[in-house]
Amino acid sequence: MSDTRAQTPLPRLSSPTLHCPDAPALARFYAELTGGEVTFSIPAWAVVDGPGGRIDVQTVSDYQPPTWPDGERPVLLHLDFYVHDLKEGERHALACGARRESEQPNAEHCLVFRDPVGQVFCLTIWEDIGA
């Protein structure tokens, strides 16, 4: 596949950015979760480079986690991570510091978790859905 960055004026996704109260700490969590590494870290911003791409993390002084599945602060974006085995993926996520949500709308194919600051993310075995 050829590199089309110079060939089109259209935007290209760089990375999602998660808000949190401590960017370096949350970046370490996502690096451990994904087997990636923190490639940049200052108090206001951190970058995780992982096997599936980059995640940026930004410190926000008045951060409030989303309330899910219902509540005042809806989840505006969540990350999905592909795993080969949900049980093993769950064990790993919990060991990294994630919390499993009690509400699991599709537990046969996807598990919902919260990271250490309350952001919602999922582990899924649906690698090619919609492809």
Burial of 89 (0-12, 13-18, 19+ CB in 10 A): buried
Position 130 in a domain = no
What is the tally of structural domains in the chain?
1
Please report the pLDDT score of residue 2 as a whole number: 54
Given this model, what pLDDT does residue 88 score?
97
Task: Examine residue 9 and state whether it is found in any structural domain, yes or no.
Answer: no
- Is position 109 within any domain? yes
CA torsion sign for 92, 99, 33, 130 is positive
Percent helix, strand and coil across the chain, each to the nearest 5: 20, 30, 55
Tens-digit pLDDT profile for residues 93-129: 999 999 999 999 999 999 999 999 999 999 999 866 6
**Residue 7 domain-assigned (yes or no):** no
Give the CATH number for residue 27.
Answer: 3.10.180.10
For residue 119, report the phi and psi dihedrals to the nearest 5 degrees.
Answer: -70, 140
**Helix, coil or strand: residue 89:** helix
Asked, for residue 98, whether it belongs to a domain, the answer is yes
Residue 5 lies in a domain: no
The residue range of the domain holding 116 is 17-124
pTM above 0.85, yes or no: yes
pLDDT tens for each residue of 27-73: 999 999 999 999 999 999 999 999 989 999 999 999 999 998 888 89
Q: Is residue 1 part of a domain?
A: no
Q: pLDDT category, 3, cuts 50, 70, 90?
A: low
